[in-house]
Structure 1
């Protein structure tokens, strides 16, 4: 038997194995790029530990923050003035990726709200932030004696302690909303008398003189 015939049986299995794997294409290169990008994405985190965390008023404006004393905040609520009225701004200080969008679920005290949040630039990285009209019914989830849960993708569930200052902030923002939308009852500008009214006044004055 010639050497070629001896190698032929070995070549057939090798050919079959190779034929099982499709050739490399652009789609495989694209998958590699996606995998490389995915490896750089921020990894999901567990639900934050909120032991000893409290609500506190922030130094600037109508804003309160939730977190452990002496540590970076975990969550924040603020009253904002917008072109369409007052709004409650929600900030979940969970790192996220630039350009990311999601829904934050707010659950508590018999209410469930789901609101749009976007990756918002901060001093370091990006955090989840969004705005809700101050008169949104499901903001009632923050009121009451029970804990409120705030959940975002990849950030776990953050349990927010009940505190009266949360309701007070929402109340104040809602009052501002009412004041902004109420029609003006009168005008400070003095009303110019009409010609007929002036003539009637002069006639009455002349009658009294006579």
Structure 2
């Protein structure tokens, strides 16, 4: 006779084992832990996609008027924030992330930091390894408050890697200035 707790534990262990997304095969090992299962890579098995691009050393914020870029000085920016206005006078923040992209792809750019998480829609505008993703967000959107804090922010794009955006007052300055120039709120 088995105890109910033992049966539940065994069922949970089997369920978790069935959920494994391993690319390997479990086989019995030989050696000190003889009989203990070990993972081996399967020859010819589909390997994971290549590793996402890494952030280069020395990346920093660079301000130029209503545009703020994050990247290595002298190289193409990795992320750009620009304050724009639509025909009604509403202020918008254009996000441009330069990293690999597939033609016609859509994604959510995740910004994580300062006690907040923002997921902002972006579209692939140019494909390839040096692809370009763009999104427009109303400057008054509270999701952008993730940029207002004093801490660093992670910017992650699926397949495009993660940027560690260094702590700076520049994103806050750009966002507050852009919001202050929003003419659509004055009419409300």
Rounded Cα–Cα distance in structure 2 between residues aligned with 1:50 and 1:141: 23
Q: What is the RMSD of the two structures over their aligned residues, measured on CA atoms?
A: 2.4
Q: How many residues align?
A: 139
Bigger fraction of residues in helix: 1
Superposed counterparts of 1:3-82, under 5 Å: 45-58=51-64, 62-82=66-86
Q: SS of 2:99's equivalent?
A: strand
The superposition leaves residues 26-67 of structure 1 with CA deviations (integer Å, 9 ceiling, x where unpaired) of xxxxxxxxxxxxxxxxx6543523431111124xx5111111
Q: Does residue 145 of the first structure (1) align with residue 150 of the second (2)?
A: yes
Rounded Cα–Cα distance in structure 1 between residues aligned with 2:187 and 2:109: 34
Aligned in 2, Cα 1:52/1:86: closer, same or farther, shift over 3 Å?
Answer: same
Q: SS of 1:181's equivalent?
A: coil
Q: So what's the TM-score if we normalise by structure 1?
A: 0.60
Aligned in 2, Cα 1:117/1:90: closer, same or farther, shift over 3 Å?
Answer: same
Q: SS of 2:91's equivalent?
A: strand
Q: 1:157 aligns with which of 153, 162, 174?
A: 162
Aligned in 2, Cα 1:52/1:147: closer, same or farther, shift over 3 Å?
Answer: same
Rounded Cα–Cα distance in structure 1 between residues aligned with 2:143 and 2:112: 9
Moved over 6 A (4+): none
Q: So what's the TM-score if we normalise by structure 2?
A: 0.66
Larger radius of gyration between Structure 1 and Structure 2: 1
Tell me the CA shift for residue 97 of structure 1: 1.3
Q: SS of 1:102's equivalent?
A: strand
The superposition leaves residues 118-161 of structure 1 with CA deviations (integer Å, 9 ceiling, x where unpaired) of 01138x96311101110111211112221101111101211101
Unaligned runs of 5+ in 1: 1-42, 185-210
Unaligned runs of 5+ in 2: 1-48
